[in-house]
Chain A
Amino acid sequence: MVREIGGSNFVQEVINSETATVVDFWAPWCGPCRMLGPVIDEVAEEVGEKANFFKINVDENQAIAQKYRISSIPCVMVFKDGEVVETMVGFRPKQDIQTILSRHL
């Protein structure tokens, strides 16, 4: 399941997480983000417990978007032990996302 998070619980849910975490930076005005959403949902479904999935609205969470220097969305980041280990910019087919994730799970 992909859960929506924001600035207040980012550190707890993402940075301090013991499990690998996938964060989808998106915004309602972004077409490719809307297409990527259901793809990430499917990936999350298949990955199950091995990773946590979140999405962050960059409009409402500009500080985080700036901290991670998001300059193009959709942008999916994979976090492990509080560090960014993977950045995927733009829409990606499901298979690509799965391949990239499998390196970290």
Chain B
Amino acid sequence: MSDRYDIAVIGSGPAGLEAAINAKIRNKNIIIFGNKDFSAKLVKAPKINNYLGFYNVTGKELKKHFEEHIKKMEIEITEERIDAIYAMGDYFALMVNQKTYEAKSIILATGMQYGKPIKGEEEFLGKGVGYCATCDAPLYKGKIVTIIGYNKEAEEEANYVSELASTLYYIPMYKGEYKLNENITVINDNPVEIVGDDRVNKLVMKNQTIETDGVFVLKDSISPSQLVPGLEMENEHIKVDRKMQTNIKNCYAAGDCTGKPYQYIKAAGEGQVAVLNAVENLS
């Protein structure tokens, strides 16, 4: 079994980084997940004038400052994308493909980049709509399955499911060459609504409607309530109190994912509040 971290931070934007440095100052055993660029939203910003202490910097410049800061504090970003987090009671299990990390508390700092759900997607979740085709595929043996794929990885899942399903429709939401089994029908159209009675039975697209028993929506990033099952949301944001505590004990959230305004220094401030409360609860 892997070691159990005191705190796991999910996301490497300003909220996550600020949480990480404060955890380090408090001498906690931490891990932070994210990417080399920290945040696509950071490197894209042309001019930033509202981050105290840094007048008229570009996003790339601010990123460099952040980079030096965490380097000096010996914080390294684990470049992995967390697929799911399970609240096990006295710890959290963080899943990355087949690997599991464990942490006593977690800080969600995932930003806001998951697209809007398709109409009916949330209503039929678990009633024919799913986010992990390979997980539920055996339940669709001999049935009609539709996969809405937002990236190349979805093709692999489609190929696997096509071995079990009677019919597999693949709706690519991106352009490119598709490496799909021959028995898969590709439909180039835009999904509009998932409909059914107590279960999914149709997918309505802009130009046509198909009958289907299941619809899998395979996106790059998933909403926090799917990332952490049981997490309470308020509209599209994670519900937090003044301590940045969510409805799940020892699970905190900070940054854009908790709500507007979407700003760097608000994100950083929340990251700090979240982690200091997490630290306090650990002792």
Q: Which residues of A contact B (CB under 8 A)?
A: 27, 29-32, 35-36, 38-39, 42, 58-59, 65, 69-73, 75, 89-96
Contact = CB atoms under 8 A, between A and B. Distances in A.
B135 A32 contact: yes
B25 interface: no
Given A92-B229, A93-B230, A38 B88 contact: yes
B193 interface: no
Q: Which 5 A-B pairs have the closest CB atoms?
A: A89-B126, A93-B87, A93-B230, A91-B229, A35-B86
24 contacts: A29-B135, A30-B135, A30-B136, A31-B84, A31-B95, A31-B135, A32-B84, A32-B229, A35-B88, A58-B138, A58-B139, A70-B139, A72-B136, A89-B126, A89-B127, A91-B230, A92-B230, A93-B86, A93-B89, A93-B248, A94-B88, A95-B230, A95-B248, A95-B249
Nearest to A72: B126
Contact of B139 (A35, A65, A92): A65
Interface in B209-225: 213-214
Contact of A42 (B89, B126, B199): B89
B86 A27 contact: no
Interface in B231-273: 248-249
A90 B229 contact: yes
Contacts of B126: 71-72, 75, 89-90
Contact of A91 (B86, B214, B249): B86
B13 interface: no
Interface in B118-176: 125-128, 130, 135-136, 138-140
Interface of B: 84, 86-89, 93, 95, 125-128, 130, 135-136, 138-140, 198-199, 213-214, 229-230, 248-249
B139 A89 contact: no
Contacts of B87: 93-94
Contact of A73 (B86, B139, B199, B248): B139
A38 B130 CA distance: 23
A71 B230 contact: no
A73 B96 CA distance: 19
Contacts of A59: 138
Contact of A71 (B93, B139, B249): B139
B199 A69 contact: yes
B138 to A, nearest CB: 7
Nearest to A38: B88
Contacts of B88: 35, 38-39, 94
Contacts of A95: 230, 248-249
Given A32-B84, A75-B126, A94-B87, 4 more contacts: A59-B138, A70-B139, A92-B229, A93-B87
B230 A96 contact: yes
Contacts of A93: 86-87, 89, 229-230, 248
Contacts of A91: 84, 86, 229-230
Given A31-B135, A69-B199, A89-B126, A39 B89 contact: yes
B2 to A, nearest CB: 15
A89 to B, nearest CB: 3
